[in-house]
Amino acid sequence: APDPSDVFLPILIATFFSTLVALILVSIYQKINLFNRVILGYLGAMGLFIGGLLYYFSGLQQTEIEIFSKVFGNVILFSLFTSFIGLALFRKVNVYDSFIEGAKEGFEVSVKIIPYLVAMLVGIAVFRASGTMDYMVAGISKAIALCGLDTSFVDALPVAFMKPLSGSGARGLMVDLMNAKGPMDFAARVACVIQGSTETTFYVLAVYFGAVGIKRTRHALPCALLAELAGVIAAIIISYIFFK
């Protein structure tokens, strides 16, 4: 998007839904009791807030939504940065030294994951070159059109398909779409929201699990993919509320 704050609020809302689905799925697989008053209180309060926010936006004009989203997004972004610095000062943490230490650890991790990263990138290249993604998008577009639904968002689906495999690959597809149709195009905005509210599931499983020697992912993959699907669906619906 031409203004990052324009899509920041939709990304946050879509991320809430994907995170909520992930939490529920993990609790089901791991037999965690979510029917706790504290947990239900937090989830209920957040759900009511998000639901009220969406209901409020659904009654606004498009220009009003854009203005509110930009202002709210800028406030949240600024608050995040200032809160990090403020919390560090409150706890007397040296921000610069902590940053340097984290950067060193990040470099060590990046060296460890190089073999897994190379293998993952080869698989992604094969997937893109095979044309499988184009066939999938074309099939979904026809199915949606047969149902009589709007297909404006379909051009953003390659980003949704690529994101579980590679964040940089999905970002490249998003940029290509923005260059082809313009950053203000609806599909381009949907792509931005999908890019920001979903995760590189297969990348994380292959690279980071491999780096620490985890071979059996168990329920991580189905939970992550279903949460990913929830994030994509939420991103599309929320984009219609904000940008259509």
Reported as a single tens digit per residue, the pLDDT across 62-106 is 777 777 777 777 787 788 888 888 888 888 888 778 878 877 777
Domain boundaries, the chain: 4-243
CB 168 within 8 A of CB 142: no
Q: In the predicted model, is pLDDT for residue 19 greater than 80?
A: yes
pLDDT, residue 232, reads: 94
What percent of the chain stands above pLDDT 90? 14
- CA dist., res. 190 & res. 194, Å (int): 6
Per-residue pLDDT at 55 = 81
Any idea what the Cα angle at residue 48 is, between residues 44 and 53, rounded to 5°?
150
Q: pLDDT: is 21 or 84 the higher one?
A: 21
Question: Higher-confidence residue: 21 or 97?
Answer: 21
Residue 157 contacts residue 137 (beta carbons within 8 Å): yes
| Pick from 215, 189, 226: nearest CA to 10 | 189
| pTM for this predicted structure | 0.77
Cβ neighbors of 21 (< 8 A, separation 6 or more) are 226, 227, 230, 231
Q: How confident is the model at residue 117 (pLDDT cuts 50, 70, 90)?
A: low
Tell me, what DSSP letter sits at residue 2? -
State the pLDDT confidence band at 1, using cuts at 50, 70 and 90: low
Mean pLDDT of 10-19: 90
21: closest CA among 34, 6, 11?
34
The pLDDT tens digits of the residues spanning 153-201 come to: 998 998 898 888 878 778 888 888 888 888 888 999 999 999 989 988 8
Return all residues near 234 (Cβ < 8 A) that are at least 6 apart: 13, 14, 16, 17, 18, 197
As a whole number, mean pLDDT of residues 144-154 equals 88
* Residue ranges in 32-185 assigned as alpha helix (H): 37-58, 62-90, 95-112, 114-129, 132-146, 157-162, 167-181
| 226 has a pLDDT exceeding 90 | yes
* Whole-number average pLDDT of the chain: 82
